[in-house]
Amino acid sequence: MSGTGKGGGKGGGAPRALHVRVKTAKRRTASSARWLERQLNDPYVALSKKEGWRSRAAYKLIEIDDKYHLLKPGMRVIDLGCAPGGWCQVAATRVKSTDAAPRVVGIDYLEMASLPGVVVLQKNFLDDDAPAVLVEALGGDKADVVLSDMAAPATGHKKTDHLKIMHLAEVAIDFARTVLKPGGHFLAKVLRGGTENELLANLKRDFAQVMHIKPPASRADSAELYVIAKGFRGASADTAPPDDGDPRDTHAWMPPLKDG
C-alpha cells in the first residue's frame, strides 16, 4: 500500500509478509493463540504501526473514502463507536480539522487517548442524552458525515450477534437523519445475516445513493460489510425510495449476498 501515514493515506492493498505461527503456551488459550497469529500475519496491522494509525480499521475508511469521496476539507464529522481512534484520525486529516477549530467529534464508552483536531466523548451512544451531547460538541451545527463502526461485544451466537449489531446500525441511522445536512453522507458497519437488505431499502427513502461495500482491508473471513448512503435528502423529505432494482446491487468489492 502506498499509504502516506497521517498525511491521509491511499488504499491500494497491503504488502504480504512471511507467515508467523503462534503456539499455545501455559497462559495462552487456543483462541488467543489464533488471534495473536492472525494479528502477527495481518499486513494491515503492521502497516498501521508503521504509518502511525491507531488501528488497522483506518485503512477501511481510507479505502472507502478513496473510492466514494465522503470526506472533504471543511466538513463536520461525527464518529460513533470511535475507539481506538483510527477512523477519527482519517476523518480529522481529510477534513483538515484542528484543535483550534475541531470538526470531528467521536463517541465511545471505552476510554480513548486524545487526537489532534478531534473532540472525544467517553459516553455510551445509547444513552438518552448522547445525541444532544454530540450536537453540542459539534458546536450546535449540522454534520456533513456520520460514521459508525460500532459493534456490540460478540456472544458467539451468530443470530444474536447479528441482531445486536443491526440494532446499533438502525439507531445510528435514526441519529443521522436528525443531524445530517441535506446532501450529507452516512457510513456504518453491518453484518451479513438476512436483514441487511431491509436496512438498505430503509435508507433509500432519504438518501440518493445507497449500497453495500466490503473494502479490501475488511478481512475476507469476516461477516462484516459496510452500508454507505450518500446525498441525504433532508429530514423533511417525503420521497419514496426509487424502484431501481435489487437493493443488493453493489460495488465489485463485495460478492453477492446470501440470506441466512
Tell me the domains of the chain and their CATH numbers: 13-52 (no CATH), 55-232 (3.40.50.150)
- What is the dihedral sign for C-alpha 64, 92, 140, 151? positive
Residue carrying the nine cell digits 444513552 = 127
Place of cell 478481512: 219
Q: Model pTM greater than 0.85?
A: no
pLDDT tens figures, 149-180: 998 777 777 788 878 888 999 999 999 999 99
172 phi/psi in degrees, rounded to 5: -65, -40
Q: Which of 189, 204, 214, 230 is catalytic?
A: 189
Q: Does residue 12 surpass a pLDDT of 60? A: no
Task: Enter the C-alpha cell of residue 162.
Answer: 447479528
Give tens-digit pLDDT for 19-64: 544 444 556 565 554 544 454 456 787 887 888 898 899 999 999 9
User: Does 189 qualify as catalytic in the annotation?
Assistant: yes
Q: How far is CA 237 from the centre of its chain?
A: 25
Calculate mean pLDDT across residues 246-255: 37
Which range (55-64, 119-128, 168-177, 189-198) has the least confidence? Answer: 189-198
Dihedral angle at the C-alpha atoms of 23, 24, 30, 36, nearest 10 degrees? -60
